Structure 1
Amino acid sequence: MKLAIRECMIDDLVILREISYKTYNETFKAWNTPSNMEDYLEKAFNMSKMRDELLNASSKFYFLYVDEKLTGYLKLNEGLAQTDIKDSESIEVERIYVLKEFHGKALGSVLMNKAIEIAKEKKKKYLWLGVWENNDKAMKFYKRNGFYIIGKHSFFMGDDEQIDLIMRKDLEVN
């Protein structure tokens, strides 16, 4: 299995939108109404919003390829691009998704290791993220990767208020 990770550029906008929409839908459609999913997907992954995110110097997207096939992606935010904490000492892992057909191959760990590597290169003290309190699979993954709960916030899926747990991973910076 040949792995490759590369930073997304503006030319990747259409492909980024497609994989973002698909992976989010695969992950959460079973727990949400079709109308709430449609509402959220259109707001979060419309072309204009995603273009702005790609052009934001404080946000970076990375594609993960396995044997030259796009399998997942990672989104990291720094500074004011962070959705909650906005600490200059941290990086937010806003999105880490792998296509369902590639689950169980430790590809989430590949993306998480990339996030950790980038944070350490930038001399950040910690990573943080928000995870839906009912997403047991993701919670277990983050805990295995050294994250711990530090708080929570509301997250709206359409008109449904849900709770995201805020998790942090402290880094040893040399």
Structure 2
Amino acid sequence: MENNIQFVLLKPELYNAYIEIGTKAYNQHYKHLWPNGDTTTYIKNSFTEEVLLNEEQDEDTVLYLIQTNSTYVGILKITLHKKLQEYSQADALYLDKIYILNEFSGKGLGSKSLKFVEQIAIDYSKKAIFLESMQKGLALPFYLSHSYTIVANTQVPFNNVIEEEKPMYLLQKNL
């Protein structure tokens, strides 16, 4: 499967697919963060046509659908230029979202996606890639196994997330 992966740059005609895949993948992985599993706050801030239109107007934001064969299986959101830690906007890339549907997890798509993002960072002459990961769960060991290191504590930025589920880490990979 890993060889058949494509990263499809988001265009308006693909918004519905991005919204559907992003919402489904987020709910599969992160419903437990929210009281009664109600992810509405996150979905309204991430996966609406209005949000996508605004993100598309931001020249630093790049959105992709992850496709294998003819099926969309995940999404990527990248901020090309972002000041983080001691790095200037020119030197850091931020991987804002990488969500893959549960049924496609464990098949190399996450690793291939990280390599894709790393190549973008190299193409833009970045010195580091940053991302955030929940402190609990499967994502953290995955990122650590791909040479990311924990550089700071952060938390989910929404007030209505369950308090003990808020802790996150900021991770960095030097290039």
Cα separation, 2, equivalents of 1:13 and 1:57: 17
The CA deviation at 1:133 is: 1.2
2:157 is paired with a residue whose SS is strand
Tell me the residue number matched to 2:141: 140
The CA deviation at 1:93 is: 0.5
Tell me the residue number matched to 1:34: 36
2:31–2:37 contact (8 Å) kept in structure 1: no
Cα separation, 2, equivalents of 1:11 and 1:66: 19
Unpaired runs of at least 5, structure 1: none
The AA in structure 2 aligned to 1:170 is N
Pairing 1:7-26 to 2, within 5 Å after superposition: 7-26=9-28
Residue of 166, 169, 174 corresponding to 1:170: 174
4+ aligned runs moved over 6 Å, structure 1: none
Residue of 2, 5, 8 corresponding to 2:7: 5
1:13–1:51 contact (8 Å) kept in structure 2: no
The CA deviation at 1:153 is: 1.9
1:159 is paired with a residue whose SS is coil
Cα separation, 2, equivalents of 1:154 and 1:83: 18
Cα separation, 1, equivalents of 2:108 and 2:32: 23
The CA deviation at 1:116 is: 0.3
2:84–2:92 contact (8 Å) kept in structure 1: no
Unpaired runs of at least 5, structure 2: none
The CA deviation at 1:6 is: 2.1
1:59 equivalent in alignment to 2:67: no
2:19 is paired with a residue whose SS is helix
- Calculate the TM-score normalised by the size of structure 1: 0.87
Please give the per-residue CA displacement for 1:59-110, whole angstroms capped at 9, x wherever unaligned: 111222111111112111023xx49656320100011111111111010011
Tell me the residue number matched to 1:104: 106
Cα separation, 2, equivalents of 1:132 and 1:94: 13
2:64 is paired with a residue whose SS is strand
The CA deviation at 1:149 is: 0.7
Cα separation, 2, equivalents of 1:74 and 1:60: 8
The CA deviation at 1:143 is: 0.6
1:36–1:157 contact (8 Å) kept in structure 2: no
Cα separation, 2, equivalents of 1:102 and 1:139: 18
Sequence identity percentage? 21
Cα separation, 1, equivalents of 2:147 and 2:77: 19
How many pairs align? 168
Please give the per-residue CA displacement for 1:106-148, whole angstroms capped at 9, x wherever unaligned: 100111110001000111001001111113x101111111100
2:83–2:92 contact (8 Å) kept in structure 1: no
